[in-house]
Structure 1
Amino acid sequence: MILRQDEVVDDIVCRPAQPHELAAVAELRWQWVQELYGTPDTMLDGFVPRFVAWAQEAESSHRCMVAVRDEVVIGMAWLAITQRVPHPRTFERMSGDVQCTYVVPEERDRGLGGELIETVLAWARDLGLERVTVHSSDRAVSAYSRLGFEASPRLLQVEVGQGRAG
């Protein structure tokens, strides 16, 4: 079951987040960190308004796709868009990075995460992005692989930060 933007299947729709849903998206992000690392240092009531303000300010570079059932946000996936250095043949170039894909625990293992990613990839194609990358959890590697993501010997990374926030 593949959902397209604003298509309803089994009463779930995957579509771009609406401004009034950003608080719910912030709560999902907080819940995800709590699930992985324990209760965050920042309490939920302090995190939500800061996250909403960040999402509004970062709207041009970070776009959020949500999965919604009965007007309740049950999943999210972000597409971070980066301008690339111009090339003589293609001056305007952009790439994307899938970030913060999360589905509430009670909705997992039904393919909803894959549907969110498929919708994000359709969005990336519509935007004309050259490529989309992802830094996946071990649990999700097979799901990303099924959707066409491949390991690349040319895509390397180095951890330069002092801590890992997830």
Structure 2
Amino acid sequence: MLEITVREATEADWPALAELRAKWAAEQLGARQNHERNDDGAAFESVFSEWAASNPRITFLAERDGDAIGMVNFLVFNRMPKPDAPPSCWVYVGNAFVLPDERKRGIGGALMESALERARALGAVRVVLSPSTQSIPFYERLGFTPATALMMQNL
């Protein structure tokens, strides 16, 4: 078995991240409809790169022998400062994905541990996410609990 590495992604990784995102979207689409992606991969890579350039996120990439097999990213929300209190932030984790053939091997856990380690280093006071129904047990194993104090409004 080849070694798996998890590292912070760079701009040079955007094509690999775009491909993972396309595979994730195809998997989700396949669950709803049984047809192939119609778009041009190069066109999506361009759209993805524009998005990544204008949406500063910290992204972690899992690789096996240099091939991208999983990802997770997070957005940092710096909280408004308070008098006599240190600066603080919280982190929103999103876009966690591991290729289907690579799942249940600890890769998702390794990606999340890298993200959580970085969040701790940033001094985050909380980490939030919006799990899919099937990912809830995974996040519960990592210590996440339901967030009863947050509210939302769909627009």
Q: Do both share a fold (TM > 0.5)? A: yes
Give structure 1 stretches of 5+ with no counterpart: 1-8, 161-166
How much has 1:67 moved relative to structure 2? 0.4
Report the alpha carbon displacement of residue 41 of structure 1 after superposing the two structures with TM. 6.5
User: Post-superposition shift, 1:55?
Assistant: 1.4
1:48 equivalent among 24, 45, 68: 45
CA separation of 1:92 and 1:28: change in aligned 2, threshold 3 A: same
SS in 2 for 1:148: coil
Change (3 A) 1:89 1:146: farther
Partner AA of 2:94 in structure 1: Q
User: Given the alignment of the two structures, is residue 134 of structure 1 paired with residue 129 of structure 2, yes or no?
Assistant: yes
1:111-143 deviation line (CA, Å, top 9, x unaligned): 211111111000100111111101001111111
Distance 1:40 1:28 in 2: 13
Root-mean-square deviation (Å): 1.9
Q: CA deviation at 1:90?
A: 2.6
How many Å apart are 1:157 and its aligned residue?
2.3
1:117 matched residue in structure 2: 112
Separation in 2 of the partners of 1:41 and 1:86? 47
Structure 2 counterpart of 1:17, from 5, 9, 28: 9
| Separation in 2, partners of 1:89, 1:142 | 39
Shift of 1:40: 5.3
Q: Give the CA deviation at 1:84.
A: 1.6
Q: Given that residues 2 and 65 in structure 2 are in contact (C-alpha distance below 8 angstroms), is that contact kept between their aligned partners in structure 1?
A: no
Offset of 1:30 from its aligned partner? 1.2
TM-score of the superposed pair, with normalisation by structure 2: 0.87
Give the unaligned 5+ runs of structure 2.
31-35
Q: Which of residues 132, 139, 146 is equivalent to 1:144?
A: 139
Displacement after TM superposition at 1:19 (Å)? 2.3
Identity of aligned residues (%): 33
Cα displacement (A) at 1:100? 0.2
Partner residue of 2:33? Answer: none
Residues 55-90 of structure 1, C-alpha deviation per residue, up to 9 Å, x if partnerless? 13333xx11101011111100000111122222233
- Report how many residues are paired: 150
